[in-house]
Amino acid sequence: MKDPVHHDPIESIGEAYELMLERALEGLKTLEKKTGPAIHQLVDKARDTAVELEELSAEEADKLAVYLKRDLNDAGEYLTKTGGELKDWLGFESGLVKRELYGLMLRAADKSTLALLELKEQAAQKSAYHTGEVTGAGALVCDECGEQLHFHKVGRIPPCPKCHATVFHRPH
């Protein structure tokens, strides 16, 4: 990642995640058919831009693209299946989330957009979140003991503080 000396690495990865989300959402405006695969292509394009501009290494950008797609799929699946709101998916009061990130997630998961999304290829598989990966804001539940972890901004997933397990899912 560019300029690691002047930035906290966790904050830098969070900023890169948000920038990649922002770039993908810019492309969303021009799409006629807002399908899951089309949105994944926009995330891939944002990934490529981050590498071209030397904001991230290819390996870092690839990982962030996977994490971003997972988070968008999970939010979209939750909102379309439950009819709930983004704050419900987050698992805590949305005011605790960095305002810019919440706005980006809200734009990405807008119900009118989600109605057009075809995320069925992802819906069949439950999203797994693993220690060391990066996730956007929201709650994660430990698959072993049920402990909840709350992310108020983008961050790396630690082991479960209660049982030290390493696999999590979003509460639904």
Q: Is the pTM of this model over 0.75?
A: no
User: Are 64 and 20 within 8 A, CB to CB?
Assistant: yes
- Please report, in angstroms and rounded to a whole number, the separation of the first and last CA atoms in the chain: 34
Average pLDDT over residues 7-18: 70
Helix (H) or strand (E) holding 100: helix 99-108
Ordered strands of the 167-169 beta sheet: 129-130, 167-169, 138-142, 148-151
- Per domain, the residue ranges of the chain are 9-126
| 113-118 CB contacts, 8 Å cutoff, 24+ apart | 113/28, 113/34, 114/76, 114/79, 114/80, 115/80, 116/33, 116/34, 116/35, 117/34, 117/35, 117/36, 117/39, 117/76, 117/80, 118/35, 118/36, 118/37
State residue 128's pLDDT score.
Answer: 86
Tell which wins on pLDDT, 3 or 55: 55
Give the C-alpha separation, 45 to 25, whole Å: 11
Mean pLDDT rounded to a whole number for the chain: 74
Is the per-residue pLDDT at 54 higher than 80?
yes
Give residues with Cβ within 8 angstroms of 59, minimum separation 6.
none
Average pLDDT over residues 15-29: 80
Give residues with Cβ within 8 angstroms of 40, minimum separation 6.
69
User: Are 28 and 113 within 8 A, CB to CB?
Assistant: yes
